[in-house]
Amino acid sequence: MRSLPLPARILPLALTGLLTSPASVTAAEATAETAPRFELLSPQIIAWRRDFHQHPELSNREQRTAGIIAVELKKLGYAVQTGLAHTGVIGILEGGRPGPKLAIRADMDGLPVTEEVDLPFASKARGEYLGKDVGVMHACGHDAHMAMTLGVAAALAAQRDTLPGSVMFIFQPAEEGAPPGEEGGAPLMVKEGVFKDFKPDAIFGMHVVSTLPVGTVSLREGGQMASSDTFRIVVHGRQSHGATPWAAIDPIVTAAEIVTAAQTIVSRKLDINKEPAVVTFGIFDGGSRFNIVPDTAELQGTVRAFDPAMREQALASLRSIAEHIAAAHGATVEAQIPLSKDSSNPVNYNDPALTRRVRTSLQRTLGAAHVQEARRWTASEDFPHLGRAIDVPSVYFFVGVTPEGADPATAPSNHSPRFYLDEGALRVGSTAMLQAALNYLNGR
């Protein structure tokens, strides 16, 4: 795999390990002077990432991944707990000096995607998803998240005696969603007591993205990623032969009208001057033969929003549309809107004051030109469940992975079978997170 050079401004800090301390270095940058040289850690971070990439595991099935993480954290001297939310791992490091408590989270699961990138460590893994045999790939970059976070854990462990405060590393399964019928992800980690014995004062997270070039990071204050709700609508009609549709109550026609009418929720019911919102249908399943009107048809999809009131309005409107259109056709609906509490994610909200502190850390580490203002993104994350559970501020930033010379606007996106990560991003992300953590623990 090609690992391109980082922009010139980043090379000194990324490759001289934050140890070189020229007269011009700022006090915030100097907090990292006792960290190990990242040129020594970089090969290990790359090795971790390639191993995780080659052996991805689906949500709630991350046994091998969790085992490796637990072993590595124990080697570094962390107090380790395993088995949270099925396969989750947490590691706690107590610093040698008094200070705040910080949590850093990384997600662990792969996706049911068959890799199409020609790499010597490409995934050949298979798994079962929705009853089907599927390829498995780290198509969203969670392999990089784990590797970079382990690198930060190693750097902090190396300066434990002088480290102020304490740090919890959370390696979370099932960020992509638990399999049907199972619980998982951040909500289950909270439910099973991830913060029972360690309540952090703040939580950090990061995510690699194809929409940024390698060497850059981005973040924004306030709502950065949308809330998400999954829904399921089953229309119950009456079966008949396709030649006598008047004898049926057609659930396919009814469901089609629901899909069409639901397009007015965003375009006609929500005040999108306030915030954006999305209503998307991803599954329309009905019938088994061309000449039979079936008994049922099923719709599934997602609602995304940044404003809680708009979210509630969209969900209520969708339910009303489904019920009234079904009634007009003489059909009934089974409406799970949302599907369940655990299938919903709140807005990924960056605490403004903490975000300003983290932005300063990133700018001093990478150079201001390489720290961008993130655009709001209607994708979602279960990361905010962690901070909301204990009412502490959190910050989440993005790390660019698209190689130099490639256009991030057209690069294969996260979740694509052709998603490609330039490994130069591993140094950028781990260095950025390390500096943000050190500055926070040192009260900067």
Q: Which of the residues are catalytic?
A: 109, 175
3-state secondary structure at position 373: strand
Q: Which residue has the tokens 């950065």?
A: 224
Parallel, antiparallel, or unpaired: how do β-strands 240-241 and 292-293 relate? antiparallel
Chain-centroid distance of CA 144 in Å reads 12
Helix axes 142-157, 38-54, angle to 10 degrees: 150
- Residue type at position 126: R
DSSP letter assigned to residue 210: E
DSSP string for residues in 1-13: ---PPPPTTTHHH
Helix axes 424-441, 352-366, angle to 10 degrees: 130
Q: Which residue has the tokens 């079904």?
A: 326
Helix axes 142-157, 424-441, angle to 10 degrees: 50
Q: Report yes or no: 350 and 222 within 8 Å, Cβ to Cβ.
A: yes
111, β-bridge pairs: 137
